């Protein structure tokens, strides 16, 4: 019922959002006579802010059309390499007419970025992909909003997630380097562990960034919520059925709007301050700062629904039973044994100020992967970085990326 109420509210707010947008332009457009009215800047800024607070945010594009490789601009085309009901494997294909650069690009390492299925779209890793494309061939998992997947397709469990990762690795080939950011560190480690146990070729390296490998270490607010509430509480309080106006009508999901409420509730003061600063930037005419705010919140406010089965499996397996670190996790009946991984190098990365995956949670992967030589298991702590800073922004570009690039290069032969 809550989902239907939300949809009704959204439908009612849409005309108001459009009215606010039109009013903001009326008081700010240089050809409008209202631009010269007393207090026009504040009126326009107020309407613009109301428009952004009331509007619906759709999935933004990656919008990566070119990158620099060895100082040369090359074109980038986004392609679907493999399509599954709940995920598309995207490839960012690079093109150049430079005869000297082409063989170098072909010889560069291949990276599979496993994006989190935890509320936001894979486009949250746009900065990650853009930097990687300078020195690598890049694929990424683009998870599909569960409300857009017809119910007759069937459920999607954590086990299915693990199998998707394995299928993507096999599709690209064992020469791939796998990078997992946040939530997927756990299923990625499980996927590669199971491949090693079966005797399959495993990726050349795996980079794990800010993930809950062992959520018992330095527990955060996210971890505490999962441990202080029962499995039944989550099932009864955050799981709803998709309304009939979507292709996935009737599917049980953890709705995106509820997840967004949780994101904002973690740092409400920061968001209020950010929106007030946006209002002041508009009044002052600081277009660059205002546009930076829009870009951030266009991404941050765009959320997707998660399949209920996958979300509940994750709560129980990762945050309540700690099945991976306890050695009790079975995927389709097969025991997950990270100690069987021997030919895949491991790099773990943590943010010093990460308030989502606490200190030591990602580093715990080293205690599990005992089959990998110690010299092939570096760990890197990013000083001054929060959760998002390890894969996006200045610290990612200047501090983290060089570490990742050099690690992959060392293990690509």
Query: Could you tell me if residue 267 is inside a domain?
Result: yes
For the question of whether the overall pTM of this predicted structure is more than 0.75, the answer is yes
Reported as a single tens digit per residue, the pLDDT across 65-106 is: 999 999 899 999 999 999 999 999 999 999 998 888 999 999
Query: Could you tell me if residue 61 is inside a domain?
Result: no
Which CATH number covers residue 318? Answer: 3.40.50.1820
**Residues 352, 279 share a domain:** no
pLDDT (average), residues 127-136:
96
State residue 377's pLDDT score. Answer: 97
Query: Per the structure, how many domains does the chain have?
Result: 2
Query: Could you tell me if residue 198 is inside a domain?
Result: yes
Reported as a single tens digit per residue, the pLDDT across 376-390 is: 999 999 999 999 899
378, 382, 412 from 398: Cα distances, Å? 18, 11, 22
Q: Which of 242, 268, 300 is the endpoint of a domain?
A: 300
Query: Could you tell me if residue 239 is inside a domain?
Result: no
State residue 261's pLDDT score. Answer: 79
**Residues 133, 266 share a domain:** no
Query: Could you tell me if residue 381 is inside a domain?
Result: yes
CA distance 212 to 356: 9
CB 390 within 8 A of CB 350: yes
DSSP class of 126: H
**Residues 226, 329 share a domain:** yes
H or E, element range at 331: strand 330-331
pLDDT mean across residues, the chain = 92
**Residues 105, 202 share a domain:** yes
**Residues 277, 375 share a domain:** no
**Residues 263, 356 share a domain:** no
Query: Could you tell me if residue 247 is inside a domain?
Result: no
Query: Could you tell me if residue 287 is inside a domain?
Result: yes
At 244, list the tokens.
Answer: 């009939």
Burial 175-202 (b: 16+ CB within 10 A, else e): ebbbbbbbbbbbbbbbbbbbbbbeeeeb
CA distance 143 to 132: 20
State residue 108's pLDDT score. Answer: 96
Check whether 292 has a pLDDT greater than 90.
no
Check whether 267 has a pLDDT greater than 80.
no
**How are the residues of the chain apportioned to helix, strand and coil, as percentages rounded to the nearest 5?**
50, 15, 35
CA distance 317 to 399: 33
Domain that holds residue 363: 66-234+305-410
Question: Would you call 260 helix, strand, or coil by DSSP?
Answer: helix
**Residues 175, 41 share a domain:** no
**Residues 199, 329 share a domain:** yes
Check whether 189 has a pLDDT greater than 90.
yes
DSSP class of 62: -
CA distance 245 to 7: 9
Reported as a single tens digit per residue, the pLDDT across 6-38 is: 777 777 878 878 888 888 888 888 888 888 788
């Amino acid at each position: 019922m809550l989902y239907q109420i939300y949809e009704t509210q959204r439908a009612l707010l849409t005309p108001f959002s459009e009215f606010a947008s039109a009013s903001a332009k009326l008081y700010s457009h240089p050809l409008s006579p209202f631009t010269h009215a007393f207090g026009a800047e504040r009126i326009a800024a107020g309407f613009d802010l109301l428009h952004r607070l009331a509007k619906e945010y759709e999935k933004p594009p990656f919008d990566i059309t070119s990158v620099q490789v060895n100082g040369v601009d090359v074109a980038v085309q986004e392609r679907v390499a493999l399509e599954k009901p709940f995920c598309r494997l995207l490839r960012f294909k690079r093109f150049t007419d430079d005869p000297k650069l082409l063989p170098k690009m072909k010889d560069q390492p291949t990276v599979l970025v496993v994006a989190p299925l935890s509320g936001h779209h894979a486009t949250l890793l746009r900065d990650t992909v853009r930097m990687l494309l300078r020195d690598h061939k890049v694929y990424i998992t683009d998870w599909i909003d569960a409300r857009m997947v017809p119910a007759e397709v069937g459920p999607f469990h954590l086990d299915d997630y693990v199998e998707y990762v394995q299928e993507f690795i096999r599709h690209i080939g064992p020469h791939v380097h796998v990078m997992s950011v946040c939530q997927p560190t756990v299923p990625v480690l499980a996927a590669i562990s199971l491949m090693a146990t079966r005797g399959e070729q495993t990726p050349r390296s795996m980079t794990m960034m800010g993930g809950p490998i062992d959520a018992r270490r330095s527990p955060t607010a996210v971890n505490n919520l999962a441990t202080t509430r029962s499995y039944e509480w989550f099932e009864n309080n955050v799981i709803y059925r998709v309304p009939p106006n979507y292709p996935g009508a009737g599917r049980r999901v953890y709705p995106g709007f509820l997840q967004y409420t949780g994101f904002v509730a973690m740092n409400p003061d920061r968001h209020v301050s950010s929106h007030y600063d946006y209002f002041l930037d508009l009044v002052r005419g600081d277009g660059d700062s205002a546009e930076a705010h829009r870009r951030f919140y266009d991404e941050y406010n765009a959320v997707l629904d998660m399949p209920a089965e996958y979300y509940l499996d994750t709560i129980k397996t990762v945050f309540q039973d700690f099945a991976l670190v306890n050695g009790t996790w079975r995927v389709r009946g097969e025991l997950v044994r990270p100690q069987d991984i021997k030919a895949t190098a491991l790099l773990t990365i943590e943010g010093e100020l990460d308030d989502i995956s606490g200190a030591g949670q990602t580093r715990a992967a080293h205690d599990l992967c005992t089959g990998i030589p110690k010299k092939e298991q570096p760990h890197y702590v990013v000083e001054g970085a929060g959760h998002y800073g390890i894969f996006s922004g200045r610290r990612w570009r200047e501090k983290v990326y060089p570490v990742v690039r050099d690690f992959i290069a060392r293990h690509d032969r």
